[in-house]
Amino acid sequence: MIDRILRVLICLVLLGAAQAHAQQYPSKVITIVVPFAAGGPTDTVARILGKAMSSSLKAQIIVENVLGAGGTVAAARVATSAPDGYTLFLHHIGFSTAPSLYRKLPYDTIRDFEPIGLIGDVPMTLIARKDFPAKDLRELITYVKAHKEKINFANAGLGAASHLCGMLFMTAIQTELTTIPYNGTGPAMNDLLGGRVDFMCDQTTNTTSQIKAGKVKVYGVTTKTRVASLPNVPTLQEAGLPGFEVAVWQGLYAPKGTPKAVVDKLAKGLQEALADPSLKQRFAELGTEPSPKKNATPEALRAHLKAEIAKWAPIIKKAGVYAD
């Protein structure tokens, strides 16, 4: 009997502490962990979002880049962080492809995280170094097939969106190329601009300004329709690859066990940030569509993540790409 009373009392104390924590939250700096290098598209989105969320949550938000293994090193780090709402994780479509690409992951994608909400969708572009000898997609495909041993295709590691897009491209043109993995497409872009790699697929977040400045060649966008910020760039479907489609979605997560009241505060802060006019303008310039309020919720992200894991599993299995 005394034992039971003691247990009830402990539960009440813990509940009270959790409620007090949620009420005071946030009272210190929040870190958003980004699984790719600074200067790349995921990092850029995190910094724009972090700024807007720091206004909506009235807290300081910083970004930490945790690199390696296509984003899985960062995911493992967040999975074991304190579930107190002060460590968040911003990842993209790669979070849903990793369970199929990696034979063994050091975390469980569904069990170890609390989804907060969807952030947005962003198209990718197929781009090459400025002096790449092909003026359009058809010429690119012919050239690549004829010189495949000499051509390098950059990506941000197995599990990155650039890897997924590249894998789909190589499958579509039935040509295997040498891929060069980086810790993010920020550094890969530097090498592309310097002519040290030939081409890559990357989010418009990172490529729009380089395309507009004529510093890289562009062969198409990966979405079904053209992108408003790049109206003269054809879709890859129009340019000659029927059915080719991939858009990058991004989500915000906390470690499993983060109190529901904290997750709800974060979701509200996310929704407010996505409605912020300066965020919307920056996102539009970079070709990113912010998620509508109904999708910037834990339920919507949870459902989307599960659906994407199920969608990509058979495609990746068919492509036969794995890491140990």
Q: Decide whether 41 or 290 has the Cβ nearer to ligand ASP.
A: 41
Query: 99, 115, 120, 186: which one contacts ligand ASP (CB under 6 A)?
Result: 186
Q: Decide whether 75 or 263 has the Cβ nearer to ligand ASP.
A: 75
If you count them, how many residues does the chain have? Answer: 324
Q: Round to whole Å and give the CA distance between 53 and 117.
A: 13
Q: Are 201 and 192 in contact (CB under 8 A)?
A: no
Min dist CB 138 to ligand ASP, Å, is: 25
Binding flag, residue 56, ligand ASP (CB under 6 A): no
Per-residue H/E/C for the chain: CHHHHHHHHHHHHHHHHHHHHHHHCCCCCEEEEECCCCCCHHHHHHHHHHHHHHHHHCCCEEEEECCCHHHHHHHHHHHCCCCCCCEEEEEECHHHHHHHHECCCCCCCCCCEEEEEEEEEEEEEEEEECCCCCCCHHHHHHHHHHCHHHCEEEECCCCCHHHHHHHHHHHHCCCCCEEEECCCHHHHHHHHHCCCCCEEEEEHHHHHHHHHCCCEEEEEECCCCCCCCCCCCCEHHHHCCCCCCCEEEEEEEEECCCCHHHHHHHHHHHHHHHCCHHHHHHHHHCCCEECCHHHCCHHHHHHHHHHHHHHHHHHHHHHCCCEC
Binding flag, residue 269, ligand ASP (CB under 6 A): no
Binding flag, residue 161, ligand ASP (CB under 6 A): yes
Binding flag, residue 166, ligand ASP (CB under 6 A): no
Binding flag, residue 185, ligand ASP (CB under 6 A): yes
Q: Decide whether 94 or 298 has the Cβ nearer to ligand ASP.
A: 94
Query: 101, 156, 192, 239: which one contacts ligand ASP (CB under 6 A)?
Result: 156
Binding flag, residue 40, ligand ASP (CB under 6 A): yes
Min dist CB 181 to ligand ASP, Å, is: 10
Using the contact rule CB under 6 A, the part of the chain among 23-31, 39-47, 271-279, 290-298 near ligand ASP is: 39-47
Query: 26, 83, 85, 94: which one contacts ligand ASP (CB under 6 A)?
Result: 94
Min dist CB 33 to ligand ASP, Å, is: 13
Q: Decide whether 54 or 162 has the Cβ nearer to ligand ASP.
A: 162
Query: 26, 32, 36, 305: which one contacts ligand ASP (CB under 6 A)?
Result: 36
Q: Decide whether 99 or 184 has the Cβ nearer to ligand ASP.
A: 184
Return the residues of window 201-220 that contact ligand ASP according to CB under 6 A.
202-203
Q: Decide whether 44 or 271 has the Cβ nearer to ligand ASP.
A: 44
List residues near ligand ASP by CB under 6 A: 36-37, 40-43, 94, 156, 160-162, 184-186, 202-203
